[in-house]
Amino acid sequence: MEARHLEDEEAYQNSTTITSSVLTALSVIVILLRLITRKFIIKRFGADDWMMVVSLIILIGFIIGIWIAEGQGMGYHNPNWPLYERIALLKTAVALEVIYYAVVFTIKISILCFYLRIAVERNFELACKLTIVYLFVFKTAVILTTLLQCIPLSDLWDFDNSVHGRCINTTVFHYFASSMSIATDIWILVMPIKMLVGVHRQKRDQAALSFVFGVGIFSCCAAIVRLHALYKFTESRDPAYDLVPINTWSVVEANMGVYCASIPTLRPLISKSQRERTRRMKNTYRTSDNSGSGSGTVASRKNSKTAAGETSDCPRIPSTGSRDLYGMQPIGEPPHALTRPTSLGDVMLDGCDEGSQERMIPDRPEQQV
């Protein structure tokens, strides 16, 4: 009977380590494909890509922490659990909590930086920047509170009452932090919907959009399930056993966020037409640069104003609507009228800096001096 209980507990423990390992391995593949696409096909590496690299590093640290917790007895009922193992596991649990907050933060920042690259409206751009500031302040406060939830922190694993410290109400804190994180997930998910409503798309593009938003919704659901598991953990008298679902759903939420943030960037890698359009636009700009007037240098062309009112060699993109997220044309512009880059991948090849507002906002008349 006891042997069967041990087998059940081992299977319970393996449920989180196997799930975490598989999902993280898939995230590594997705992010590597993203980096290949952005570096070698689009040949533009933005802030969102760098933040995803940071997310990958933290995510790998997360899975290493879970493996360490597995070796410390996570997932087992241990009535005769040695004191040093309890302390070691609780320390690992605190570390995993901090890593979780960090990886979720970097993934959200990556998504918001991606939004900034495609922003065509000032209000949308401002909303993205304010959300980034809010996330930075909030997540910093949450991580500091986690590390200072007990003063000294060793009071958290003081089983023999040898440390006389003070601790906050961890149940209230975790509920507040998780609830605000879920609200932010929903906010980030619905932010670009206004840009996509009413746009006629091919069925395959509709399916791609539905898949990405479905992954985002599933990530929000995973965060909600994690919140319930967190409640059970804070009230548990067997923390080693009840630590499993928290880590499982934390990994699921983080990896779903990676998929949601990275899949839209892979279109040039998997779409032959997108690759051909990317090469065509690249050759167009190279030809345009070679036929420039004057000295032929980039600096001289940037300093000369064209009759159309452009102030640089970066062509303006029509801003009659919203930039397409997945390589489509700008919303509201007839296909036959486009003589400029028509996809996000093409925009990244135009020689302009990431986030250049000159191609994102409508032309404005010059102010009279």
Dump pLDDT digits (tens) for 70-127: 888 888 876 567 888 888 988 999 999 999 999 999 999 999 998 888 777 888 899 9
Mean pLDDT of 229-235: 82
pLDDT at 266: 86
Number of domains in the chain: 2
Decide if 249 contacts 228 (C-beta within 8 A): no
Average pLDDT for residues 162-172, to the nearest whole number? 85
329 and 222, same structural domain? Answer: no
Given a cut of 90, whether residue 294 has pLDDT beyond it is no
pLDDT above 70: residue 33: yes
Q: Evaluate if residue 141 carries a pLDDT over 90.
A: yes
Let me know if residue 308 belongs to a domain: no
Clarify whether residues 74 and 218 are in a common domain. yes
- CATH of residue 196's domain is 1.20.1070
Residue 269 is predicted with a pLDDT of: 82
More confident residue, 47 or 269: 47
Task: Answer whether residue 253 shows pLDDT above 60.
Answer: yes
- Same domain, yes or no, for 16 and 122? yes
**110 and 184 fall within a common domain:** yes
286 touches 153 (CB < 8 A)? no
Is residue 258 in some structural domain? Answer: yes
Lowest mean pLDDT across 134-143, 214-223, 255-264, 304-313? 304-313
- Pair (258, 339) in one structural domain: no
pLDDT(150) > 80: yes
| Pair (222, 335) in one structural domain | no
Same domain, 16 and 153: yes
Task: Give dist(CA 263, CA 255) in Å, integer.
Answer: 12
Assigned domain for 291 exists:
no
Per the model's pLDDT, the better-predicted residue between 161 and 33 turns out to be: 33
As a whole number of angstroms, the distance between CA 175 and CA 84 comes to: 29
Residue 183 has a pLDDT of: 93
Asked whether residue 368 is domain-assigned, the answer is no
Query: Residues 245, 322: one domain?
Result: no
> What does the pLDDT read at residue 234?
78
Q: Give the C-alpha separation, 59 to 144, whole Å.
A: 20
Q: Are residues 218 and 328 in the same domain?
A: no
Q: Which domain holds residue 67?
A: 2-263
> 3-17, 121-135, 260-274, 331-345: which has the minimum mean pLDDT?
331-345
pLDDT averaged over the chain?
75
pTM of the entire predicted model:
0.74
Looking at the structure, do residues 241 and 100 belong to the same domain, yes or no? yes
Of the residues 229, 246, 263, the one at which a domain ends: 263
pLDDT of residue 251: 94
Same domain, 252 and 104: yes
Higher pLDDT, 104 or 292: 104
Tokens of 308: 């159309």
* In-domain check, residue 284: no
Q: Stretch 145-167: mean pLDDT, rounded?
A: 85
Q: Is the dihedral of CA 271, 273, 274, 279 positive or negative?
A: positive
Is residue 226 domain-shared with residue 322, that is, in the same domain? no
Provide the pLDDT confidence category of residue 365 given band limits of 50, 70 and 90. Answer: very low
Distance, in Å, from the CA atom of 293 to the CA atom of 301, rounded to the nearest integer, reads: 8
Q: What is the pLDDT of residues 208-228, one digit of tens each?
A: 667 778 888 888 999 999 988
Query: Does a structural domain hold residue 297?
Result: no
> Does the structure show a pLDDT above 70 at 273?
no
Task: Please tell me whether residue 150 adopts helix, strand or coil conformation.
Answer: strand
pLDDT at 205: 65
* Side-chain-side CA neighbours of residue 309 (13 Å): 9
182-187 long-range contacts (CB < 8 A, ≥24 apart) are 182/220, 182/223, 182/224, 182/227, 184/108, 184/131, 184/134, 184/135, 184/138, 185/108, 185/216, 185/219, 185/220, 185/223, 186/220, 187/131
Instruction: Tell me the pLDDT tens digit for each residue of 309-353.
Output: 444 333 444 443 444 444 433 433 444 444 333 333 333 333 333
pLDDT of residue 139 exceeding 60:
yes
- Please state the rounded mean pLDDT for residues 41-62: 92
Does 364 map to a domain?
no
Residue 188 resides in a domain: yes
Query: Residue 167 phi/psi, 5° resolution?
Result: -130, 145
